[in-house]
Every structure is written in C-alpha cells, then in structure tokens.
Amino acid sequence: MTKNRISIHFDGPIAQNHAVQLRTFSRTLDHIQTAIDRAFLDLKYGSIWKNARLKDEDYEPTDFTLQQTREGGFISDLVGSNEGEAIIDRIHTAVMPAYERAQKPVIAEPVRLVDEAERRRQHYKAGAQEPIPYEDLIENPDAKQTNPYGDRSIVKEFDQIASAIRARDNDGSVVEIDLYSTRSLPRFIFDFSTSTAFHKIVSVRTLGDPVEIPVTLRALDSGGAGVSKAKVSNLISGKEFNLFVHTVRGFGSLRKYLKKKDPPSFKIIACPVLEYGAFDPLAGDMYFIAIVNEVSGE
C-alpha cells in the first residue's frame, strides 16, 4: 500500500451495505483536511495559534487525493505527497497521548470555570497570588500548558470525527483511522466507549495563573448564566481576544472603558482558559479577575 496515506474505515451499523451517509462522510473529510492543515502550519512555523490560515503556497503540500472507496465496511484512502510524511507523523504525535488515555479512562469531573474564576478573584483580593506580566507568559508559559496549542488543534478535529460514533448511542458502530508514513503507526479505533472517553479528555477546560495585560476594550455584552463577554485588544500582541466576566461589579467596572472613539488603555488581571492543557497566548480566551489598581478587586 502507498505510504503517506490516511485510511478512514467505518464499520458496523453506520456502514450498512458498505455505504455511509453523505453528511457523516463529508464532515469526516472536512475534519481530516483541517487536521492536515493544522499539522502543516505547526510544522512550518514551529507553533500554531488561533485562527491561523494557509497561504497560497501551502495548499500543494497539504493536498491529499481521495482514492476510490473500498469494501470491508466503508473504507476511504487519502494519499498525500512526499511532504505528507511529516504531516502524518505530526498528527500521530498529537493524537496518540489522548487516545492512549482514553483506553483507561479515569476522568475527574470538570471544574466549573465560573467557580474557578471566583476562587482566583478571591485569592487575588487577599494578596495570596501575584499576577505575572504578559511578557513573562510569552517567554515562560504557565506550567499547566503541557500540551502545545498545535496538539489541541489537531485532537479537536479527531474528536469531531469520533462524534459520529458517540451520536449513535452505542449501537456497535466504529470508525478506524490508519496513518501510514515511512514507519509503522498504530491504528486509532473509536468505538462508543473510546469516543466518549476521548471527548472528555480533550475537551477539559481549566484556568491558568493570573496575568497582567495592557488592553483596550472593543465591545462589552451582558450574557446568560451569569457570565458576560467582552472583546478586548491586547496592546502587546496586537490581537483581539474574548474576555469572560463572571461578576456584576466586574462588568460595571469595565463599562467606563468602553469608548467608540479613542478607547482608553488600561491594565487588567485575567486568567487564561486552557483547553486540553493548551492556550494561545496571542489571542486565547481569558477570564476577567480585576482592573489593576482598583480597590474593589472586581
């Protein structure tokens, strides 16, 4: 068989008469292509950040050709160029740790981010935890950021592929993904149990340590479930990010900085939202803790 190949195999009730629904197959191909693109960008730049996009010259090395489908359930092969080897190896490196953990799931109940944000706010008010400057976050990332953002971007796509199995309520359906490069790589088999455990592992969200950031406020909207959202411009990275606000007084303290013309700059304390242990320091979501030098600590 051809090297630099990704094989997708649906089996069980999801592939009756060696066929799958168009919606399932098209979404699977879309997520595989996105995983390929994210892996390529991560290799090209040494890291990848939120909303990264391919340039014109990036399309050729990320093009995989869809071959004629094969029976044995429903099997589809995607064949890449010589540059596909590194892409496939990068995908394998990203997915394998979460997949292995999903075989022996011991998954703690997730902590509500609102509760964690309030705990962090109380610690900050009490002087129990000092925020780090944003520059330090860039140079020395939070120790909890054990996974590169590229890993998170890739496993997110595999989680979406596996969602087709989770949606079938444990009816015996399976999707298998084989990665072929110049070395032997183990097969990823997502049945209902593995798919469910994999989702719980890769979708875990926690808060990192508080960071002090100079910003301007671009938008502020009250939200449901007690959490509001602001659009904030990071004056160091030049990127915009989502800032979640979990207290009424916190929302009120930000309102005075919302100006359509010449918005004032100010500094906030905020905690990064880590997803699968990863955070994009340039434009990742954060939870608001306080405005620097405001006595209320809200």
pTM of the model: 0.85
Q: How far does Cα 38 stand from its chain's mean position?
A: 11
Q: Which domain holds residue 93?
A: 5-107+148-203
* 157 and 183 part of one domain: yes
* 10 and 120 part of one domain: no
* 100 and 162 part of one domain: yes
Does residue 259 form part of some domain? Answer: yes
Question: And the tokens for 62?
Answer: 């990320």
d(CA 240, CA 243): 10
Residue 141's pLDDT is what? 63
d(CA 198, CA 159): 7
d(CA 144, CA 166): 29
Pairing of strands 74-79, 5-11: antiparallel
- DSSP single-letter state for residue 170: S
Percent of the chain clearing pLDDT 70 (strictly above): 94
Does residue 296 form part of some domain? Answer: no
Question: Which runs of consecutive H residues, i.e. helices, occur in the chain?
Answer: 22-45, 84-103, 113-125, 134-139, 149-166, 192-202, 248-255
* 192 and 98 part of one domain: yes
d(CA 62, CA 57): 10
Question: Can you give the CATH number for the domain in which 134 is found?
Answer: 2.40.50
Q: Does the pLDDT value for residue 144 go beyond 60?
A: no
For the segment 12-65, what is each residue's pLDDT rounded down to a tens digit? 999 999 999 999 999 999 999 999 999 999 999 887 777 788 999 999 999 999
Pairing of strands 211-221, 228-234: antiparallel
DSSP-based three-state secondary structure for 219: strand
- Band (pLDDT 50/70/90 cuts) for residue 147 is low
